[in-house]
A and B are shown apart, each in its own frame.
Chain A
């Protein structure tokens, strides 16, 4: 297999990932730095993600408790972004080895992509679940039911889009029909 084409895919995939992935990177950094007493993010977490009443009733200032939540979110988004990057790159590289060796064959590999994407989304769900529902992180206790739902939905949609853009740009040209709407994008013949 021509390494040049594979490298090209890797670069394009990285570009695709970066289109939306930078948001995750920025968000992770923000969380890794920890809470700032005046930040809107801290307040947003309090209003939307956590069990506000329980936290207030605990007597401990939210800013103190939020340190571990920030840490949780930083690690979770790191894991999610890493998974999206790895998945997109794996697919992009692996697409060069799909046996699309004749006209009309690419579309049959849609099943492969669906299965692969399904596995990736299951990993995303698993990661979110592990961070927010399991006993691995104490800060998960702070999250309310609606907060977990919010995190799950946002993560599911956002990291799917990050991954999708990565594979949309990075998939081998001849296998692009295996991606949903892969060959419908206007500049697909340049990618």
Chain B
């Protein structure tokens, strides 16, 4: 099965961030192509997701290398083989300072067509610099996207064409798009990209093996817009989100009534809306924190890709929500499938990240002269020494540069995981009456509500009593202690095909399972 996911706009990018972590936890499909669509190339969230995607793919390449380090096929760590284009982001309008006027070549239009354009768009809208997105103007976005999505030679859209070709060839293909129902890029991209894909499918006479799914994010956050310097500016106004949503839902209702665009649509939102402190027009300063509803969208996508998910002829619209109380629990996180338990895998990933970041990563970092003090310990001997020993040089090469790069990259990724879950937990319920205690994070991190990129600061080192709080870190669980982890990594069976650092990484990951 081939799977494709497209995150549209900032929301789409954020949902992809959640999805990447879920895939590293083993919740994803065997393979996945990922791409993003955002006119705002420098969008902070899009950049963050791009970086995370690179980290994921690089780590996966390093650790799924049959000749050096191999987690082996049975491992769920970085299970999903995620590919993307060199530049994972597709810009509908690629020029340096694109405007709608330039896109439709307004000056070259016949007068009557010009007149039509004048009816549809304000002059400001025609001249709006679209390099930082469509500023919550789906009408602008729709025009831009519709005019540029048909290009088969485009490196991004060629993937879609290939996907549909593969479906015609008999292989099952599933494509999933995520965006918000409000805002700019997402609101305009979601229906138009979906319909465009369906059109290509129709043009290529592909009637089976191809499924299209989507996650539609209803409003789940708002923010305060500062009064100064906003006059005359076009921007996404939070007070308009609900109206826009209402309008959009009416549109989709009509659309789905007459046209089966999606096989499955996952709809989610949040109430009360999460209050975000930052307002930014766009660009790299627009870096909103990860929020819980985005996880729903990601899990919806993973559910769509799951082989257990039997897609029928009838279009399905699925709603994902939490319990009615103000407490957000692990039970509010739906499973991807009957044998992929989201809570189990995500909590496993969190524990893995903790133990690697503070216990084992530091032990493996440095030169051999620093690391060798562990050489008599069973875990090291069994998992590291034997698997990084070079019989030619008769030395353990864990301290060598290429191994250290992997160890360091993994530690960085683990910090990203811890930051992600901490940020999501704090930011989702900030300034609301809601409470989310999926994990206890205050002993290993500090949260700065007003920060932008540095909301969460993970501690460099933990003392003994802080480390001992590991066993109560994940709530609603019979908790594992660090002793259990150590015991598990010493006893877990090494899979046959595992090699190099992949041995240790996978065993540590498996040892973090309850």
Binding site for B on A (CB under 8 A): 1-2, 5, 8, 96-97, 99-104, 106-107, 172-174, 176-177, 182-184, 188-189
Contacts and interface: CB of A to CB of B under 8 A. Distances in A.
Contact of B486 (A102, A182, A183, A184): A102
Contacts of A107: 376
Highest count of chain B CB atoms <10 Å: which of A2, A103, A104, A183 = A103
A101 B482 contact: yes
Nearest to B488: A2
Contact of A96 (B381, B386, B467, B487): B487
Contacts of B373: 104
B381 A189 contact: yes
Contacts of A174: 377-379, 486-487, 489-490
A176 B15 CA distance: 45
18 contacts: A1-B483, A1-B487, A100-B486, A102-B467, A102-B486, A104-B374, A104-B377, A172-B487, A173-B378, A173-B490, A174-B378, A174-B379, A177-B376, A182-B376, A183-B376, A183-B378, A188-B378, A189-B386
Contacts of A172: 487, 490
A104 B375 CA distance: 10
B329 interface: no
Contact of A102 (B359, B381, B386, B487): B359
Contacts of B483: 1, 97, 99-101
B481 interface: yes
Nearest to B371: A103
Nearest to A181: B376
A2 B376 contact: no
A104 B235 CA distance: 56
B275 interface: no
Contacts of B301: none
Contacts of A5: 487, 491
B374 A2 contact: no
A126 B376 CA distance: 34
Contacts of B489: 174
B377 A101 contact: no
Interface of B: 359-360, 363, 373-374, 376-382, 386, 467, 481-491
A67 B462 CA distance: 66
Given A177-B378, A183-B378, A103 B487 contact: no
B381 A2 contact: no
A1 B491 CA distance: 12
Given A103-B359, A172-B487, 5 more contacts: A2-B484, A99-B483, A106-B378, A174-B486, A176-B378
Contacts of A106: 377-378
A6 B488 CA distance: 12
Contacts of B379: 103, 173-174
A189 B382 contact: yes
Chief secondary structure at chain B's binding surface: helix
A106 B489 CA distance: 14
A182 B378 CA distance: 10
Contacts of A103: 359-360, 363, 374, 377, 379-380
Nearest to A175: B378
B255 to A, nearest CB: 54
Contacts of A96: 487
Given A102-B359, A102-B467, A189-B382, A2 B377 contact: no
A173 B487 CA distance: 7
A177 B377 contact: yes
B482 A102 contact: yes
A28 to B, nearest CB: 35
Nearest to A6: B487
Given A103-B363, A172-B490, A1 B380 contact: no
Contacts of A2: 484, 487-488, 491
Nearest to B375: A183
Nearest to B386: A189
Contacts of A1: 483-484, 487
A100 B376 CA distance: 14
A106 B482 CA distance: 13
Nearest to B468: A101
Given A102-B359, A189-B382, A183 B487 contact: no
Contacts of B378: 106, 173-174, 176-177, 183, 188-189
A104 B481 CA distance: 17
B498 to A, nearest CB: 14
A176 B381 CA distance: 12
Highest count of chain A CB atoms <10 Å: which of B359, B377, B382 = B377
A5 B377 CA distance: 17
Contacts of B380: 103
- Rank and list the top 6 A-B pairs by shortest CB-CB distance, nearest first: A101-B482, A173-B490, A103-B363, A173-B378, A183-B376, A189-B382
Highest count of chain A CB atoms <10 Å: which of B378, B379, B380, B382 = B378
A118 to B, nearest CB: 22
Contacts of A8: 491
B510 to A, nearest CB: 13
Contact of B491 (A97, A173, A184, A188): A173
Contacts of A188: 378, 381
Contacts of A183: 376-378, 381
A189 B363 CA distance: 19
A108 to B, nearest CB: 12
A161 to B, nearest CB: 22
Contacts of B490: 172-174
Given A172-B490, A183-B376, A101 B481 contact: yes
B161 to A, nearest CB: 51
A101 B376 contact: no
B216 to A, nearest CB: 44
